[in-house]
Structure 1
């Protein structure tokens, strides 16, 4: 783990001990978050948040109630709405001056980077999956709890290899975010030896002249393939793709089979109990964004209760996914299994059985140490 992050953690824990046994955890969230508009929540796109991340943090605090009382430690969760880079910088500085032990960040990449550069406080990224944040744009004081786009793509590619679905028809949206995510998918397909038989753009449009760009039958016809992989950051096109393809083929990516940090119907390793606790608290199902907020707070509280840094090489936390979770030293990503489901249940986990790694099989998901592009950690 980087010396920078370790020093920040030591300073934060010392500050928390000196502040009348009160542990302050910040949470930076989007002001007027369009992702939480009622009409979008009603559509429940896979991988999109269904409510404020604050609720996941609150569940983690409630779970630790008795341990916190025994340690005579109280927790203050300070939520700040952020609408601009200036807001992010100001909020990070203020929370640092207030002695915050850590700050959860549910913001787009530019705002997260603004907060990271503004104050030497540990930020837990719970809302941005951009690969660049773990690579060229990495920061020494940022821990990434939400899986990266590459991790999600690697997980699906491993499943395709295991199922022997070798020929992939790749559909992608027109947006800039789609282009970034498409690059992650292309890398995963190449990495695991899968063949892209065709790559086709889609576009939701009412213009009859662009009819072929929005019609599933036309987009998926004319080429032999084993599986359709759809990259749709918005979610609207992908939701209508399964069972509307020209050939009877499975759909993966942003519809059909999806790879996420959390799927509400996972039935092993204590996951149902966590899902039920969250649902009782929030009145809705837990998503991977909620799980990321829950895990970040769980790590901070465990560190405080055990009086040791979460940057320690042997520090790990139970994420209710079957293995202890730790932080990669080379990009500060939380290594973790991913859950693959169709909205009705979890049909597989990744890394899949049979995938090998010389040290840690979880490192087959995402950037491995020899591939590192992050230059700010040793």
Structure 2
């Protein structure tokens, strides 16, 4: 009798495990993590009440991707789900992620500050999960602080400035004056442009700091005409993440010259005025979910992160993370980014190679890589860190 009871218990347990496995195979869960008190989301109003550079969480882009997957979901017999978790900047992300992993989550979209992202990637470096960086452009995350399971769907600063530099060379604007602000992001952006200029032999005629101040002693660092005088240049590159200074640069430079960088002609992953390769339809789908603003680069990065994984599952017929990971970096992989060139992730640093859009406030002027800039393998690798110059040591 006891032997019979043990047999029945074992059989029941085995059946339960099979049922759990089948249930898990029918659901594929993505988790979106954000810092609810991230300073980047704060409304920064100037003394007149103007809001210049408002940023938003990118969850809406992820929701668009999940909604798009419904037809494919039925054909695959898999339900794609999205979990949203919001913590404080100093919250216990490690415990939350561990809990989600234990509940079957395999892919995480991380819309969090770079420092927190670095801690998470180190903690879960050996876990069979995929982590997507959908906001941070820091070059070091693609170099010395890279990780085997950290994928970047948002372009790096270097990719953005390489795209901009290509356009400047194409137009013959090879003498550039740099104006950089005091913020950390300002210096990261300006430093990346210096590297891009060096690569394409653009001459930096001077690199000057600006200061937002009413102090008469700082007048030479806040007056646009004074700050841009004394040298000859074809274009002014402005690194101003706050947007307060750069909005006054146009039409006030000492020489009548165009402006690029954080104002004027700006390089981004996505812009609402992009009108080719299915972009209007994507913007419309986003507008059905987010009615109060246009789709931005971070929204697009969340969207393409989920789309990349679903594409891998469809083409490999596997939900195994190692299979998905190999698909993403495979030379033959093509992911439709709605920007033209077929894309894939670089095997040496897990960065999504992708076209970059160069836009003004209401139009996309060009798409990089610019015609004439060639690479021996993939022209998209003319932007960002190529294999030979990358300091990332991961082995996929």
Aligned position for 2:380: 362
Residue 64 (structure 1) aligned with residue 82 (structure 2): no
Q: How many residue pairs were aligned?
A: 361
CA separation of 1:180 and 1:37: change in aligned 2, threshold 3 A = closer
Aligned position for 2:295: 286
Higher mean displacement: 368-377 or 331-340: 368-377
Identify which of 111, 115, 119 aligns with 1:106. Answer: 111
Alignment of 1:133-212 (within 5 A): 133-212=141-220
Aligned position for 1:54: 59
1: distance between equivalents of 2:25 and 2:197? 53
1: distance between equivalents of 2:266 and 2:217? 32
- The alpha carbon displacement at 1:336 in A equals 0.3
Residue 267 (structure 1) aligned with residue 275 (structure 2): yes
CA separation of 1:20 and 1:332: change in aligned 2, threshold 3 A = closer
Q: Is the 8 A contact 2:52 2:244 kept in 1?
A: no
Higher mean displacement: 29-38 or 100-109: 29-38
CA separation of 1:17 and 1:211: change in aligned 2, threshold 3 A = farther
Alignment of 1:210-359 (within 5 A): 210-283=218-291, 284-306=293-315, 307-308=317-318, 309-312=324-327, 313=330, 314-359=332-377
Q: TM-score, normalised by structure 2?
A: 0.86
Whichever of the two has the greater Rg, that structure is 2
2: distance between equivalents of 1:182 and 1:296? 27
Residue 125 (structure 1) aligned with residue 143 (structure 2): no
CA separation of 1:281 and 1:304: change in aligned 2, threshold 3 A = same
CA separation of 1:166 and 1:59: change in aligned 2, threshold 3 A = same
CA separation of 1:238 and 1:194: change in aligned 2, threshold 3 A = same
1: distance between equivalents of 2:119 and 2:203? 39
Question: Which digits, 9 at most, give the CA deviation of each residue in 1:236-262, with x for residues without a partner?
Answer: 222332222222111001100000000
CA separation of 1:158 and 1:184: change in aligned 2, threshold 3 A = same
1: distance between equivalents of 2:22 and 2:64? 23
1: distance between equivalents of 2:154 and 2:176? 26
1: distance between equivalents of 2:346 and 2:41? 31
* Structure 2 runs not aligned, ≥5 long: 1-19, 319-323
- The alpha carbon displacement at 1:42 in A equals 6.8
- What is the DSSP-based 3-state SS (H/G/I as helix, E as strand, rest coil) of the residue aligned with 2:92? helix
2: distance between equivalents of 1:97 and 1:238? 47
Q: Relative CO higher for 1 or 2, CA cutoff 8 Å, sep ≥ 6? A: 1
1: distance between equivalents of 2:303 and 2:386? 25
Aligned alpha-carbon RMSD (Å): 2.0
Identify which of 24, 31, 40 aligns with 1:26. Answer: 31
Q: Is the 8 A contact 2:270 2:357 kept in 1?
A: yes
2: distance between equivalents of 1:42 and 1:54? 25
CA separation of 1:331 and 1:29: change in aligned 2, threshold 3 A = same
Higher mean displacement: 74-83 or 301-310: 301-310
CA separation of 1:140 and 1:56: change in aligned 2, threshold 3 A = same
Higher mean displacement: 131-140 or 88-97: 88-97
Question: Which digits, 9 at most, give the CA deviation of each residue in 1:358-377, with x for residues without a partner?
Answer: 11110000000111200122
- The alpha carbon displacement at 1:233 in A equals 2.4
Structure 1 ranges of 4+ moved more than 6 A: none
1: distance between equivalents of 2:21 and 2:143? 31
Q: Is the 8 A contact 1:16 1:101 kept in 2?
A: no
1: distance between equivalents of 2:272 and 2:89? 32
